[in-house]
Structure formats: C-alpha cells, structure tokens
Amino acid sequence: MLILMRQSATLDEIEGVKAKVRSLGFTAHEIPGAQRIAIGITGNKGRVSPDHFLSLPGVTDAIPVSRPFKLVSREVKSEDSVIAVGNDMIGGRELTIIAGPCSVESRTQILEVALQLKDMGVKFLRGGAFKPRSSPYSFQGLKSEGLEYLREAADQAGLHTVTEVKDTENLAEVVEMSDVIQVGARNMYNFSLLEKLGEIRKPVLLKRGFSATIEELLMSAEYIASKGNYQIILCERGIRTFETYTRNTLDLNAVPVVKKLSHLPIIVDPSHGTGAWDLVIPMAQAAVVAGADGLIIEVHPNPDSALSDGFQSLRPDKFRMLLDRLRDLGVVIGRTCPEEVRGVAP
C-alpha cells in the first residue's frame, strides 16, 4: 500500500502515519519524490485496509500497489531514481560507463588499465577480486589483495570502483573497500546476501540471474530495498537460452520492460551477454538505443593473456572506438557520454 500525503504535510503528520504503520506491525518507507510525499508499507501479508490511514491528518489517499515488488515499482515512485556515487550520477542524462578487466590480476595490470580508462573519460572502474567461477580449478581472483589493488588504482586515477561481493563472509571487506557493490548473476537468488546489502548505505549493482525472469530480478531488488537501501542499479547481462553461438542471449527487452515497471536505473553488460569481444560493440550500441542508463564492459590491456573472460574483453583501442560511437549516438537519443580527459595516462 502507498499512502499519499499533502505536499504541505508537517513532520508530525508524517511521523503520525509512520507510527500508525508500525502499530499495525508493518514497516514504513518514506519514498523520496519532488511531486508528493508518499509512504510505502511493506511487511503486510495480505490486503491492508485504507481506512486505517484515510482519517489521519495530512493523508490524501491510500492506494494498493498491485505488483508483487513494491518499493522498486513505478507505482510507488513515478520519477526515475538517480543514484549518486560521489559527484557522479547513475540514471541521469549522462550514460554510466563502467569498464575494466573481468578480474584484477596484478597491481600493474589494474593500474595500467585504470589510467587508460580515465583518459577516455570513464568514471567507474570494474575488476573482480572474489570471482565466482564455474570451475573450482579456474582462477578464483586475488581476493583481499585484489580489492586493495583495485582501490589503489582507482584512487590514483580518480575513479569509482565496482567489484563483486561473493558471499556474506567477505561482505564487510568488500563494502569497506568499494564504492559500488556488485551482486553477480549467480547470487541474484542469494536472499540472505541481498538482505545484508539492504542494511548497507552504498549503491548495489544487481545483475540478473541467467535463468531469472524480469519479475524475479525486481523481486531480488525488492529484498534489498525492503531493508532500507534504495540505492540499487539493475543490470541485464544475458540469459541462458537454446542458442549456442553466443555465451548468453542478451535480453534487451528487459531494458524497456524494467523502465516501464520500475524507477530504478538499468545498465547492460554486453560482455557477458554475448561472450564474444566482436559482438560487444554492436550490442552495447543497441543497449543504449533501447534506453539503458549505461554499460558495464570488460576491457583488458592484453585479452589473450587474461586470467578470466579474455575472449569477451575489448582491447583499450577498440573500447575507445566504442565510446566515440556512443558520443555520436548520444546526440540522437538525447543522452551524453563522458568526454575524454586527456593527459592522465603516462
């Protein structure tokens, strides 16, 4: 249920509604918005009668929310959510470009790529430290050491970091070290991890599971929001289908569907979505045209020697080419792409 209040409602009136919600055993969430004051209710098992609230001072309406996901739905908040990371925004007019290697492999590797990316205008550096690999014999990441190298490289280049949290065991460490916390496709259904991420106050990049429906993705986002963290960025990264020429099938339908159903920003990962470096550029462009708020792309200085996902990683020169194309496309679709910042790389 969503309780709407007069724009001029006093703090006491807002507190009165929240107290009523709590007295019924439910949780009250103040929904930020420029147009109205709204309080979302979660924790109710069935229908809640609007009569509990309609007579309270300041309340103008109490409307049921029909979707199973509540706090992340457009019904509850009609304006797009914009997530701030330092001075940079995710979900605004500027496309968010997150780039970097699949895994942090060494101090020099991540620093080299960080400086090159900064030069190209990128603001977010990705790099896995705790890697969830399909084989126990594959490179599992540099773990804590990788987190430190990523932080150091990002600080030196002036970038924000994005890295994956693999389980609740390393959560505190990852949350302390990174600016954006990534939940990988394999963990989209890890509800205890999602609830823990609901208690932090940093943005979470939630990737779609490879066999998850869009509704399940939104329900996983709801797990995070239900615990009080509304800084969530969704990511379409391809789903498993019968097709074998690509690693996954990048479901670009998800972009406009999510935009219709949710106020959260959504970005696209064409690297995992295709599994082939030569498909990354066309699908990245398609994603942006479909309305994605940004991209997360694997970039490696030497893909042939990468310890993970080299086959789908772009060389920096190809990635630079993609950014140029996105700047041109931006003019057509009414979005901007970060401009180059010359003179950072030695």
Nearer to ligand PEP, 58 or 141 (CB): 141
The entry of ligand PEP, Mn ion, none that residue 185 binds, CB within 5 to 8 Å by partner kind: ligand PEP
| Site size with Mn ion, rule: CB under 5 A | 2
The entry of Mn ion, ligand PEP, none that residue 207 binds, CB within 5 to 8 Å by partner kind: ligand PEP
Q: Which residue pairs from 131-136 have beta carbons closer than 8 angstroms and sit at least 24 positions apart in sequence?
A: 131/102, 131/103, 131/164, 131/166, 131/308, 132/164, 132/166, 132/184, 132/186, 132/187, 133/308
The entry of ligand PEP, Mn ion, none that residue 9 binds, CB within 5 to 8 Å by partner kind: none
Taking the C-alpha atoms of residue 306 and residue 308, their distance in angstroms, rounded to an integer, is: 5
What contacts 57, CB < 8 A, 6 or more positions away?
9, 13, 16
CB of 185 to ligand PEP, least distance (A): 4
31: region left, alpha or beta (phi > 0 left; psi from -120 to 50 alpha): beta
Binder of ligand PEP out of 247, 272, 300, 335 (CB under 6 A): 272
Nearer to ligand PEP, 21 or 255 (CB): 255
For ligand PEP, what does the binding mask look like between residues 23 and 62, x meaning CB under 6 A? ----------------------------------------
Inter-axis angle of helices 214-226 and 254-261, to 10 degrees? Answer: 40
- What b/e sequence results for 299-313 when a residue is b if at least 16 CB atoms lie within 10 Å of its CB, and e otherwise? bbbebeebbbbbebb
CB of 156 to Mn ion, least distance (A): 23
By CB under 6 A, is residue 77 in contact with ligand PEP? no
Binder of ligand PEP out of 40, 58, 100, 128 (CB under 6 A): 128
Instruction: Restricting to residues 173-202, name those near ligand PEP by CB under 6 A.
Output: 184-186
For Mn ion, what does the binding mask look like between residues 64 and 103, x meaning CB under 5 A? --------------------------------------x-
CB distance 320 to 340 below 8 Å: no
By CB under 5 A, is residue 309 in contact with Mn ion? yes
Closest among 74, 25, 16 to 46, alpha carbons compared: 25
Q: Which residue is nearest to ligand PEP (CB)?
A: 184
Instruction: Restricting to residues 101-140, name those near Mn ion by CB under 5 A.
Output: 102
Structure tokens at 144: 């804590």
Strands 266-268 and 88-90, sheet pairing: unpaired
Structure tokens at 9: 């409602």
By CB under 6 A, is residue 207 in contact with ligand PEP? yes
Nearer to ligand PEP, 237 or 335 (CB): 237
Task: Measure Cα distances from 58 to 4, 15, 274, 286 in Å.
Answer: 9, 11, 51, 46
Nearer to Mn ion, 105 or 309 (CB): 309
Contact positions toward Mn ion, by CB under 5 A?
102, 309
Contact positions toward ligand PEP, by CB under 6 A?
102, 128, 184-186, 207, 237, 269, 272
